[in-house]
Amino acid sequence: MQPKIYSADEHRISPDKVDQHAHYVIHKLQEAGYVAYLVGGGVRDLLLEETPKDFDVSTSAKPEEIRKLFRNAILIGRRFRLAHIRFGKKIIEVSTFRSGDTDASGLIVRDNEWGTEEQDVLRRDFTINGLFYNPENQTVIDYVEGYTDLEKRILRTIGQPEVRFCQDPVRMIRLIKFQARLKFKIEEPTYNALLHCRGEILKSSSARVLEELLRMLESKASKPFFELLHQYGVLRALLPEVDHYLEISKTPDLFDLLGIVDQHAPLDRGLLIAALVFPIFDTYIKERTRQLEKIPHLGQIAEAAGMVIDAIFGDFVALPRRLQGIATFVVACQYRFIPLDSLPVRRPRAPRDPLFPLALQLLQLRSMANPELVPHYTLWSGVSFASQEVQSAAPVEPRRPRRRRRRS
Ligand code: ATP
Ligand code: MG
């Protein structure tokens, strides 16, 4: 198939926005006789006049050939090897054109193997992510009508949506991520396929799903992302406890908190999990306290927080222990700040825990979502500063051995 080519005067990519290292890599590959383009999210974001997060390069050169050309390249990946070319802290990912798991009609072919540039596009997820850009002559190369979809602000799978979602259900989360981030419309067949295939999400790798969820919590669009996940019935499969909470809660305090989180992105991942979990745990622990007619102490609250976090993330999206531990501390600490018995804290003392600042940060976010909490945050941030000042003013001296009292 012949691609559509858009020249420099037709599109809005300004060449100075293209990362100079990515351009250098492409230049060197082309000079050596290979085909090489910028591809994927980088091209999409350049066309939208946004700053791309990363610049990926696709080429006809095989991994070993890439390595020979660049001294600073290392090959990664076992089955599909690709090159990472390092420039200081920056990495340009260079992958060889390969064919996907389907042919052009969407039928599953036997195996992944090296392919042509067209096949390399056809294995990609959405048309807006299937564009090449050649910085040498500043052309956009389009095999999938991605350019017009970008202009019309439409999300459409490459190939038949049901086949594509069944092959890799993470694509459904990516679809919702792009809608939340870009505010594009999902075209009808893709939307219908999402509704039809959403249960398949549990067949995907839970590590990849967790990574997409964390990335979205870190983005500036976690609120619309979770709203859409809920609205499209995907959250019910992924995080049923969160979905249930959204169904029964009368006030959308979780979304308020995520809205504040988005204004302060990116935040620590443990804190983000704590923010997601806190409104659910708060409802749970308050209900439990009412039932028991007894105020649980901080240890019991921490134990309950750990249990609730395990219940939320237990089934499919397994949380790494480290993140679970941070989120548990941060959530439990909220009841040190504002005790369940609602009595004023008379002598606030900051615990000597390196996670305390994160717990305080959640209180700050909560107070931004709910101004009634501002006095609590003011009180505790003062305590925290005071304790830090004391600690920095008085360096910890090694403890002297206790002198034995002399017997007289
Ligand atoms: P972001 O801005 O979040 O990085 P992205 O589109 O660049 O978005 P990446 O995860 O960096 O996402 O993937 C790079 C490219 O790889 C995508 O643009 C797309 O072409 C392709 N891709 C990523 N995930 C999939 C998938 N699950 N199925 C098919 N193609 C994919
Ligand atoms: Mg990317």
pLDDT per residue over 353-376, tens digit each? 899 999 999 999 999 999 999 999
* Catalytic residue chosen out of the listed positions 19, 45, 120, 125: 125
* 1-152 CATH fold: Beta Polymerase; domain 2 (3.30.460)
Q: What is the CATH number of domain 231-389?
A: 1.10.3090.10
Place of tokens 């919702």: 176
The ligand minimizing its distance to the Cα of 121 is: 1
* Catalytic residue chosen out of the listed positions 19, 45, 56, 168: 56
pLDDT per residue over 132-190, tens digit each? 999 999 999 999 999 999 999 999 999 999 999 999 999 999 999 999 999 999 999 99
Range scoring the smallest mean pLDDT among 105-109, 198-202, 287-291: 105-109
Is the fold of 1-152 the same as that of 231-389?
no
What is the SS3 assignment for 91? strand
Atom of ligand 1 nearest to the CA of 41: 7
Does 40 contact ligand 1 (Cβ within 6 A)?
A: yes
List own/partner pairs for 84-88 with CB under 8 A and 24 or more apart. 85/21, 85/25, 87/21
Closest CA to 117 of 106, 133, 105: 133
What's the rounded Cα separation, in Å, for the pair 236 and 257?
A: 20
DSSP 283-338: HHHHHHHHHHTSPPPHHHHHHHHHHHHHHHHSSSSPPPHHHHHHHHHHHHHHHHHS
pLDDT at 101: 62
Q: What is the dihedral of CA 290, 293, 297, 298, to 10 degrees?
A: 0
Does 168 contact ligand 1 (Cβ within 6 A)?
A: yes
pLDDT at 109: 53
Domain borders along the chain are 1-152, 231-389
pLDDT at 79: 78
CA of 234 to the centre of ligand 2 (A): 23
Q: At what angle do helices 321-337 and 298-313 cross, to 10 degrees?
A: 140
Does 67 contact ligand 1 (Cβ within 6 A)?
A: no
What's the rounded Cα separation, in Å, for the pair 165 and 171?
A: 6
Does 214 contact ligand 1 (Cβ within 6 A)?
A: no
CA of 347 to the centre of ligand 1 (A): 51
What's the rounded Cα separation, in Å, for the pair 59 and 76?
A: 16
CA of 202 to the centre of ligand 1 (A): 20
Does 124 contact ligand 1 (Cβ within 6 A)?
A: yes
Going by CA atoms, what residue is nearest to atom 12 of ligand 1?
Answer: 41
